[in-house]
Structure 1
Amino acid sequence: MPGPAFGSEDGSGTRPRPLLRTMLGDVLRRERREQGRTLEDVARTAKISMPYLSEVERGRKEASSEVLAAVCDALRVELSDVLAEVGRDLAADRARRERVLRLDAVLGRRTARTARRPGDTYCLAA
């Protein structure tokens, strides 16, 4: 399964924080698929359009609290459980981002400590 979708790049080269609407959509889609239900079935039960539910699941639409309540009712899950799952996903994403060292940051610190001379080379290991 692909990782969470993120907001647009901010120009700094750092990976932006995930958007709440995207994370929420991911959790709703996972729950629907785990139940083996179709978009059409859940949308009909929630009394919203199938294209709108699809947009919510893909994180393209910011769902109102009423829509979220209707989708959760249709999926027979508590909104608090969905939000708790989003919180766990956000915490996991934060842990992944904190484990990653940026090569330019490492090289930047290294070059600040030692003067570079012509002919210096760097060995980069993955």
Structure 2
Amino acid sequence: MDPKQDSVVDLAAARAARVYRQPEPRAAEPQPRLLRQIYGEILRDERRDQDRSLDDVARAVGMSKQYLSEVERGRKEASSEMMRSVCDALDLPMEQLLSRGIRRITAHRTLRVSRSGGVELCAA
């Protein structure tokens, strides 16, 4: 007789000893960025391109340096009047701020063919 056939297996011990592989956690879907974050990035990029400090631009606008910093980081939503003032201080036409915002919003979108044969616009 084969010794393996006569052995007794403790199923509970075998199950406890078995290492179960945990499923890989799915990567969280990236949250879509808010408009205030996109506009803040554009304003910050423009200010840095001009080699101007937060303090310099904030004084030109008449707001605190801390507030302008929060606007640039997308943490505060400035009124349209404040945005116009910041754009004026940076010699950035408001239309250019808006068009740059549109380009940044749509930069990560792609087209794909759906199963039904149609075309879908998808955020990447």
**Which interval holds the TM-score relative to the shorter structure?**
0.5 to 0.7
In structure 1, C-alpha distance between the alignment counterparts of 2:76 and 2:106, rounded to whole Å: 23
What secondary structure is seen at the aligned counterpart in 1 of 2:100? Answer: helix
Q: Percent identity?
A: 47
In structure 1, C-alpha distance between the alignment counterparts of 2:42 and 2:123, rounded to whole Å: 23
Q: Which residue of 1 aligns with 2:47?
A: 32
| Residues 57-99 of structure 1: CA deviation (Å, up to 9, x unaligned) | 000000101100110010011111011101100011334x948
In our comparison, the structure showing a higher alpha carbon Rg is: 2
1:81 to 65, 73, 96: 96
1:93 to 100, 108, 122: 108
1:67 aligns with 2:67: no
1:19 to 34, 37, 50: 34
Query: Letter of the aligned partner of 1:59 in structure 2?
Result: G
2:66 to 26, 51, 61: 51
What secondary structure is seen at the aligned counterpart in 2 of 1:72? Answer: helix
Q: Unaligned regions of 5+ residues in structure 2, if any?
A: 1-26, 111-120
Q: Unaligned regions of 5+ residues in structure 1, if any?
A: 1-11, 101-126
TM-score (norm 1): 0.64
1:41 to 42, 45, 56: 56
> Larger % of strand: which?
2
Q: Following TM superposition, by how much is the alpha carbon of 1:18 offset from its aligned partner in structure 2, in angstroms?
A: 1.1
TM-score (norm 2): 0.65
